[in-house]
Amino acid sequence: MSQPTVNNSGGSSPLARCGKMADSSHTPLDNVAAEYSTYEDFLDSQISATDLYYLEDEDLARRLVAEGYRGSGEQVKRVEFEAKKKAMEDARQSKRAPPKKLASIGLDLSGSVFLQELAKREEPNRDGRMTSIIFIRHKNARGQEISGYVDYAHRLKTDSNIEAFFKGEKLLLPRPSDLSFYNWETQASRSTSTPNYDVITDKYPGLIFKNKRDRKAINVDPKAAIGDNTTRVICRCPEYLQVVFYDHETRRKA
C-alpha cells in the first residue's frame, strides 16, 4: 500500500502525477484537492486490490494510508486537505455571478400546497445547500398516467420557464430526461443521471439515487431506510395524484 505523500523521486503517486501536469505555482496539495472530491477519494486512490485482499477492511486500509505507515515524504492530512477544499470553494463562490432572482418571489401561492412546498425549497436548491428529488405521479395531456423522479435543482437550472410552474400556467410533470420516467399505459420507462445524481438500478433492490457531491445514497423505497442527510415529505395536493419530496442536505465540511 502506498502512502499519500509527496514523491520527490518522480514516482507514480497521484501527488507526483498532479505536480507534473499542473502549473509550477501550484503545490502538490493544491493539485490533490483539485483532483479529488473528498479526502476518502484521495485515500482510495492509494489503496490497491492487493491491499484490500489482505486487509479485508476498507476503513482499516484508509486509516493506514492516512496515518502514513508506509513510504516517506510529506503526509497529506485530512485537516489540510479539507482546509484547501474550503479555500478553493470560497474562491469559486466569490467569482460566481449574482444568484438568479427566485422565480417564486412576489407570487401568491396560498391556493396551492404543492407550490408552497416548491417555493420553500427553491433557494436552497439554487444555492447548493439542498438537492431535492420530487416523485410525481399524474396524467399527461393525453390522459396517460405517468410518474417519475425529478431532480429539482437541475430543473431550476435547465428549465427556461420555471416561473410558469409557480404562476400555475402549467404543471410540473416528469419527463423522459428526468432521473426516472415511466408511462403506465405504454410501459415506456427511462432513467437518466443528472449533474447532481447517479441512478443505480442494478446493485441494490429498488431504485437508488447517489448524490455526486457527498456520495450518499437515497433509497426511495418507503419500506427501506432512506439514507443519511435525507428526509421524506409526502405532499397531499389536489393538483397531482401523488407527490413526495426527498430533500437531501448536501454535506458541507468545515
Chain centroid to CA 233: 19
- CA neighbor of 162 nearest in space, from 109, 101, 211: 101
Among 32-46, 56-70, 136-150, 203-217, the range of highest mean pLDDT: 136-150
Q: Which residues pair with 234 in a beta bridge?
A: 244
The pLDDT tens digits for 120-178 are 999 999 999 999 999 999 999 999 999 999 999 999 999 989 999 999 999 999 999 99
User: How open is the CA angle 99-103-108, to the nearest 5 degrees?
Assistant: 140
Instruction: Look at the block and give the residue holding cell 492530512.
Output: 77
Q: Write phi, then psi, for 67 (nearest 5 degrees).
A: -85, -5
Q: How far apart are the first and last CA of the chain?
A: 29
Residue 24 has a CB neighbour count (10 Å cut-off) of: 5
This prediction's pTM:
0.63
In angstroms, the CA 88 to CA 109 distance is 38
